[in-house]
Each structure stands twice: as structure tokens, then as C-alpha cells.
Structure 1
Amino acid sequence: MEITNPWPDGWRLAPLAAAMLLPLCDPPAEAQTRTQPASIDRAVAEFTGAAPGTPGGARAPADPRLQLAACAGPLAVSWHGNARNSVRVECPGPDVWRVFVAVDGADGSAASNRPAPPAIKRGDALTIQVRGRGFSVQQQGEAMESGAVGEWIFVRTARKAEALRARIERPGLAVIPAS
């Protein structure tokens, strides 16, 4: 790669300075086909309501060396286990992957061991809503597992229907985001 000299006559761009300008260029095509660690940080921060490194948020930002396949849809984020000290971040496809992010509690220690009360219990009748840009469609369904507001659970629309993952928005309502 050749770097042209944008400076007035007589000025030279030192090799170190030239190397520092490279990150300002577009990333190589290979990097554009990967999920950026910053998108994992944003998803976890949105889910927990706290930035990485702050109480209630991820203990540390995602490792910038992470090389995960590109995710076709939005990242699915949910609590991992009942302790609420880690968050599961999943890519639904086409190349499925999953990472777990450690979370600090509001007091700076590991998150509380008390699980949030379930907003929806297994077997509850609920409204399943598919939301997309400029539209929403809803249908009655059943919860296949219990969960609190903000958690992702499996739901189905009929007895023999395939299970779908939906995020609990409030008691009685689970939402499936459409991309």
C-alpha cells in the first residue's frame, strides 16, 4: 500500500505517523464479515443498563481480538443462570455462536444471587408479537419456560408449533424482533 503525501512541500510523514493513520481507513473486507466486539459491548450495555466497567455492567469490554462470524440478525442477550452474574450473547445465524460476559453487581461485587421475579411463568397464555421496521403482528401463544422482564424465553403459538425465542417485554407480552 502506498501512502501519498498530503502535506505541503518539504513536509514528510514519518512511518510511525503513517501507521497511525491506517486505522482511519476502511477495514479490510474480511473484517467487515465479522461481528465487531463493540457490538457485543453495546448489546450487553443495553440489556443491563450499564456501560462496561461500571457497576451493573460488564466487568470489562469484549476482547478486541475476538473474531466471530457476522450475525445476520440482532444479537440475542439474556441472563445466564439464576445468579445474574453473567450474560449470554448469541448470534441466531447463519453461523451460530455464543459468548458469555461477566457482569458486576450494583455495589461493584458479583451480581446479586436473587433472581428477578418471573413476569411470565411456564404454561402461561401470552401475546407473541413480531415487530419490525414499521409493522407489528401479534398472535396468542404459550410460554414454554418462565422468565423475568428482559429475558429471552421459548414460546409457541400452538400445541404442535415449533418453539420460537422471544424477549419478555412485560407480563403477558413477548416480542420477537424482525430484522
Structure 2
Amino acid sequence: MTPIAALLFAAATAFADPAAIDQTVAEFTGAPLGTPGGAAQGVDRRLKLAACRNPLSLGWYAGRRDTVLVQCPDAAGWRLFVPLLQNALAPAQAAPAILRGEAVTILISGEGFTVFQPGQALDGGAVGSWIRVKNAASAGAEPVRARIVRPGLVRLDLGTDLP
């Protein structure tokens, strides 16, 4: 076999790692696999998705926060729809972890950094819910949507392809 043929054969048989996709989805949602707000189940190990040369693109499918769209942006890329596990209790039934107007800490994280900022909740909600918060340190800043991690703490993950 020639070196070029060997490279083509290796490229044709290289597949994306489903566990790595699961981890990327968990980082995007801020919730581990199988927990409320995280992927309902792992990516099917039987799928033979081509290895992606570029970083995966993740976003919310159709603007709803119940399914993550995972895409390989390569020319011959692919896309997956990953349904999320919803809270066992309806939001109205779940105990609120944060109340509207409450002071919160905003955890902002991205690739290689983490920042904590004081904020104020513009909505109330239970752990795992998405609420609007404003940064207390920036008077004119627009409110952002963040996920409630625990009472008093919300998380905003920054990525390259946020909706």
C-alpha cells in the first residue's frame, strides 16, 4: 500500500469519539449526562461519525433549551440532535433556588478561564432552570440568561457558537 493510500484509508476509518461528544455537550449545558439539564443519554456508540478536523459547533436547536444541536463544521460534516433530560418536577412544582430580585453570583466560564461577578436575578427559578440576570458591576449592561447551579449561584458558559 502506498503512503497516500494508507493516509486515505486511515482518514476514511477515523471516527469521532462519542464519549468526547458527550463531554462537550455536558460542558455546553453545564449539567452532566443523565442529570436534569444534561443529555438524557449518551451518543449512540454504534454511530460511525467522521472525525471532525475543526472544533464542534454547539447551539440550542430552534431556540429551545431542551435539545442541543451538535455539528461538525467540516465540508463533509454531520449533525446530531441531543435531547436533554428535563427536571422531574415541573418548574412550578420545583422548589425555587433563587428568587426574583435576589443577589446572585454569576459564574462565567470559557475555554481556559473562569470569572465570578456579582449580579441580580431578574427571574426566579429552581436548580437547572434558565433565568435572566444582570451584572451588578455594569450598570448599563444587557441582562443575560444563565442556568441556576445552586441557591445564590448561576452559570454562564461562553463558547464560540452561542445562539
The normalised TM-score by structure 2 is: 0.49
The normalised TM-score by structure 1 is: 0.45
